[in-house]
């Protein structure tokens, strides 16, 4: 019998967190799902922890390390369900996560992707709700403009979305050659071609355990530049997409300057239409790297003291 949902969890060195993640999935109020766990060549004892959990819905695939895109795509290919939900190996689902997504699917059956809201948990003891543009709470429906709604926080987050099998079968999967920005790339492609159904009810927890999970944008700036470049043709006819990409270009430019990578900083900056940045972002774009590093340290200090202020 084909399950309604396939849940694909990708794991790489998450032995500290994976048991809690799996148990949060198994604890859903609906049980019509299979749980596919793809271990992407972990070098810690993640697999050993996974194998201690006994449930007939769990299917484990130990693979060699090929990166998150390949691991997710492998799970998507193995999935048998009509709808495929994703979860990273250290995030948490509330017990109503799949039931809320099922309600969206039943109410809006012809969308390319479904998503719920989430909470951001910093260092175990500080919780922040995401800020969406152009989305009022409560919201349960079709998103008017994904790009306009995702200028501050993205309404699509990997551990809180469901993809219909029909969307995947049309080739909407993660690009294996993108080590970073692969999720944003997929959301852009889907948003350009499909309707998006969204519930503003938080049903998943984004667990941010260290400064590296939030205060560093990427380990591979050229990868993100490649991703942004691939959507240039679409932004010419989509003003909202242009703004969305320019905000992302701004973030990449900031990260490049922080690393004294002025070559890539200049390449990214020249593609930004400054009219799409507010005054604060324009100021930050031209600040010296030493000032940006101070602001980065200040951001971390405020986070640790439960005072979230994001200069960028």
The 10s digit of each residue's pLDDT in 159-201 is: 999 999 999 999 999 998 887 789 999 999 999 999 999 999 9
- Burial of 200-233, coded b for 16+ CB within 10 Å and e otherwise, reads bbbbbbbbbeebeebeebbeebebbbbbbeebee
Say how far apart CA 167 and CA 113 lie, in whole Å.
8
Give the tens place of pLDDT for each residue, 250-297: 999 999 999 999 999 999 999 999 999 999 999 999 999 999 999 988
Inform me whether the pLDDT recorded for 300 exceeds 90: no
Q: Are 95 and 2 in contact (CB under 8 A)?
A: no
Helix, strand, coil shares, percent, the chain, to 5 = 40, 20, 40
Inform me whether the pLDDT recorded for 210 exceeds 80: no
Q: What is the pTM (predicted TM-score) of this model?
A: 0.92
| Token pair listed for 227 | 């991703």
Q: Are strands 113-122 and 196-208 parallel, antiparallel or unpaired?
A: parallel
Say how far apart CA 122 and CA 128 lie, in whole Å.
8
Q: What is the mean pLDDT of residues 114-121?
A: 96
Say how far apart CA 254 and CA 258 lie, in whole Å.
6
Give the start-to-end residue ranges of the domains of the chain: 5-213, 221-304
DSSP state of 175: -
pLDDT for 208 equals: 85
Rounded mean pLDDT of the chain? Answer: 92
Inform me whether the pLDDT recorded for 311 exceeds 50: no
Task: Give the domain 5-213 fold.
Answer: Spore Coat Polysaccharide Biosynthesis Protein SpsA; Chain A (3.90.550)
* Confidence class for position 216, pLDDT limits 50, 70, 90: very low
Give the tens place of pLDDT for each residue, 43-95: 999 999 999 999 999 999 999 998 899 999 999 999 999 999 999 999 999 99
Residue 290 CB neighbour total at 10 angstroms: 8
């Amino acid at each position: 019998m084909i399950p309604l949902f396939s849940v694909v969890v990708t794991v790489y060195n998450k032995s500290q967190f994976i048991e809690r993640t799996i148990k949060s999935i198994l604890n859903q109020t609906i049980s019509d799902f299979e749980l596919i766990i793809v271990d992407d060549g972990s070098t810690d004892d993640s697999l050993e922890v996974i194998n201690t959990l006994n449930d007939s819905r769990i299917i484990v695939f130990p693979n060699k390390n090929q990166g998150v895109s390949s691991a997710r795509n492998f799970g998507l290919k193995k999935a048998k369900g009509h709808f495929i939900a994703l979860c990273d190996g250290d995030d948490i689902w509330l017990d109503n996560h799949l039931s809320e997504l099922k309600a969206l699917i039943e109410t809006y059956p012809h969308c390319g992707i479904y998503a719920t809201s989430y909470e951001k948990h910093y260092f175990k003891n500080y919780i922040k709700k995401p800020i969406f543009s152009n989305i009022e709470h409560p919201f349960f429906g079709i998103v008017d403009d994904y790009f306009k709604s995702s200028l501050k926080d993205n309404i699509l987050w990997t551990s809180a979305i469901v993809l219909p099998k029909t969307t995947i079968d049309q080739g909407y999967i993660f690009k294996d050659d993108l080590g970073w920005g692969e999720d944003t790339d997929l959301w852009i492609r889907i948003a350009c071609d499909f309707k998006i159904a969204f519930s503003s009810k938080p049903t998943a927890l984004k667990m941010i355990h260290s400064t590296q999970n939030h205060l560093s944008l990427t380990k591979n700036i050229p990868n993100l530049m490649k991703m942004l470049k691939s959507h240039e043709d679409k932004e010419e006819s989509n003003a909202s997409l242009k703004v969305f990409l320019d905000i992302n270009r701004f973030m990449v430019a900031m990260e490049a300057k922080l690393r004294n990578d002025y070559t890539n900083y200049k390449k990214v900056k020249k593609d930004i239409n400054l009219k799409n940045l507010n005054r604060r972002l324009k100021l930050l774009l031209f600040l010296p790297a030493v000032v940006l590093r101070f602001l980065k340290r200040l951001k971390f200090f405020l986070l640790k003291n439960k005072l979230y202020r994001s200069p960028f």
